[in-house]
Structure 1
Amino acid sequence: MMEIASNIFTALENNALPTYINVNEPNTERKALVRSITNHPDARTYLLILNAGFVETLMPGEDTLISKGFSQEEAKSTTSAFENYCKEHKDEIEALRLIYNNNGEPITYAMLKDLENKLKWVNSKFNKSLLWNSYTIINPQSVKRYSTRDEKEALTNIIQLVRFAFHQIEKLESLYPSAGQRFNLWCGQIQRPLSSKQIELMHEIQNFIASNGYCAITEIKENDKSLAAQLIKAFAGKEMANEALSSLAQFIIYRKVD
């Protein structure tokens, strides 16, 4: 850290840095000054938190905003750039296309990871936690803050961020906390009655879907072979099990019943 401080001091003393415009510019010279921080993950995490707008970490995964003035302008710049990116690429990136069309097509874990990686590649501020914080800074009344680590880390938060960017939803909130309620509604609305065993097994899947998006038996098997086998047995075959998984995922993500 002393090396970083020394580099910054020298650059400022010698007026070696170009004029700062905003966070969405390359800022190559400034990034070079802190390149050595790549070997210190704890320091990187702390700087990212500060960069989101002077936040205080109360517990692992839970941030509380304590000052808005510092990052209001940067938050607006970041969210504006994010919204423009979503609009410009909604026809070429599969996850963006499906979220924009909002017609119930499966949005899978692989699609969401692809979008997450593309966003991070374009702009380091385009990660779901920092975008969520940025929207909180700009419009706290329209954003529901995370209450648990699982909620904060849910990959499906990207879906909600994009929906918010497209103005498809009025309030930015994670799909994860409402998974249990939506599961109960799904059980009551599907045409085909479920056995107690089927309900028990699908209940185990609800949070996985709410966190990761659409999944099939193949994905379940990668995480829990026993659960995958039980699902296949309970639904009398892989095809029927996949149909049930797809139906539940569609209801949790789109609130639509097949």
Structure 2
Amino acid sequence: MVQSFEAFIREHKDEITALQLLYSKPYKQRITFEAVRELADAIEKPPYLWNESQLRNTYAALEKSRVKGASGRRILTDLVSLVRFAMYQDNELVPFPERVNANFRAWFVGAAPRREKPFTEEQSHWLEMIRDHIAANLGIEPDDFNYAPFVQAGGLGKVHQLVGDKLTAIIEELNETLAA
């Protein structure tokens, strides 16, 4: 299954948008949820009939020391981590949300010295919600603040109130850094 999946990736790298983007280093553009959905649909069709969970379990059986993270609930964005591992871009297979969280911690620590004032507790909470959204959706756009969980906490107006005119820069920086 692993050999077939890796061959599938190589054979379709010019046809499937997500694979095109993952092969382009540095990334020419950010991978989208829709592109990952297209890839998931392609691997789930005959003759493959694969899903991310099956492939991950197969890699775990073959390379247990290099497959990290909980083996519980899988999400579509985990397919990004799986493909990066299969393409030998990553040395470990880590669930996508765990990678995003690690990147967020590094960004947060690195952002502190660049700021005039430390993030407030409320700003930190919003940044964590943004992190979680990126982990589940591969990115965030201003329109996303009109939906749960953001709208329950005040939506776009509230986040704009908290970070001001730096919102666009923060969104761009988090999109680029966390999903990297």
> TM-score band (shorter)?
0.7 to 0.9
8 Å Cα contact 2:133-2:139 kept in structure 1: no
Superposed CA offset, 1:137-192 (max 9, x none): 2222222252543xxx2322111111112111121111322444432321232485
State the AA in 2 paired with 1:88. Answer: E
Aligned residue number for residue 22 of structure 2? 99
Determine the structure 2 residue equivalent to 1:168: 89
Contact 2:130–2:140 (8 Å) recurs in 1: no
Whether contact under 8 Å (1:109, 1:215) holds in the other structure is: no
Which of 49, 61, 77 aligns to 1:156? It is: 77
Q: Secondary structure at the match of 2:97?
A: coil
The aligned length equals 172
Normalising by structure 1, report the TM-score: 0.58
Partner of 2:160: 232
Task: Note the residue ranges of structure 2 that are not aligned, 5 or more in a row.
Answer: none
Aligned to 1:121: 45
Q: Distance in 2 between matches of 1:178 and 1:163?
A: 12
- Which structure has the larger Rg? 1
SS of the equivalent of 2:90 reads coil
Kindly indicate whether the alpha-carbon contact (under 8 Å) linking 2:100 and 2:179 is maintained by their aligned counterparts in 1.
Answer: no
Per-residue CA distance 1:174-213 (angstroms, 9 max, x = gap): 1322444432321232485264243321112212212321
1:14-55 CA distance string (max 9 Å, x none): xxxxxxxxxxxxxxxxxxxxxxxxxxxxxxxxxxxxxxxxxx
Dislocated runs of 4+, deviation >4 Å: none
Among candidates 194, 203, 225, match of residue 128 of structure 2: 203
Match of 1:247 in 2: 173
Counterpart in the other structure of 1:109: 33
Q: Which blocks of at least 5 consecutive residues in structure 1 are unaligned?
A: 1-77
What do you get for the CA RMSD once the two structures are aligned?
2.4
Higher relative contact order (CA 8 A, sep 6+): 2
Query: Are residue 90 (structure 1) and residue 13 (structure 2) matched?
Result: yes
Name the SS of the counterpart of 1:172 in structure 2.
Answer: coil
